[in-house]
């Protein structure tokens, strides 16, 4: 039995240095998708109108989301400050989304009062962003 546990520990120890990619992929997938999608469909103007934002602010949000995804993706190839900068780019966007759209409903599902869903997902991403900001590449 002890030999089995030892081999499990060895396997986990071998994959542990790569597990940071699980957090990064979650962050990157969401931010790249959301940033790029704002250029499609109704475009930046449509997003801005829907959210009541001026065109320039809507454009900065979309570019900030893309930057947040790219920087967290390339962070391990460069240095911890690149990862931190990516997290820092995403955090105010998440706070804005929570405050403007999702506040008041915890559950992520859409409802009559919150057609774009509640804040559970955005709060989870916000906490992940804070973790990345604090830890950088020392995940």
Instruction: Write down the pLDDT at residue 14.
Output: 87
Judge contact between 138 and 87, C-beta under 8 A.
Answer: no
Kindly state the percentage of the chain with pLDDT values over 70.
83
Q: What does the domain layout of the chain look like in residue ranges?
A: 18-135
Can you state the percent helix, strand and coil of the chain, rounding each to 5? 75, 0, 25
Judge contact between 39 and 32, C-beta under 8 A.
Answer: no
Instruction: Write down the pLDDT at residue 1.
Output: 45
pTM across the whole model: 0.83
Q: Rounded CA gap, 4 and 119, in Å?
A: 42
Grouped pLDDT means (10 residues each) for the chain, 139 residues: 64 85 93 94 90 94 97 91 95 90 65 66 90 87
Judge contact between 116 and 102, C-beta under 8 A.
Answer: yes
Tokens standing for residue 35: 């940033």
3-state secondary structure 109-132: CCCCCCCCCCCHHHHHHHHHHHHH
Instruction: Write down the pLDDT at residue 73.
Output: 96
């Amino acid at each position: 039995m002890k030999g089995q546990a030892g081999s499990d520990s060895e396997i986990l120890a071998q994959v542990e240095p790569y597990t940071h990619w699980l957090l990064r992929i979650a962050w990157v997938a969401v931010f790249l998708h959301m940033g790029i999608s704002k250029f499609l469909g109704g475009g930046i103007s449509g997003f801005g109108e829907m959210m009541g934002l001026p065109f320039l602010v809507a454009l900065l949000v979309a570019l900030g989301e893309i930057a947040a995804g790219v920087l967290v993706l390339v962070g391990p190839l460069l240095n911890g400050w690149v990862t931190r900068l990516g997290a820092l780019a995403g955090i105010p966007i998440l706070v804005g989304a929570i405050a403007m759209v999702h506040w008041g409903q915890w559950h992520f599902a859409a409802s009559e009062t919150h057609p774009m869903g509640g804040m559970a997902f955005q709060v989870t991403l916000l906490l992940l962003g804070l973790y990345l900001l604090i830890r950088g590449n020392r995940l």
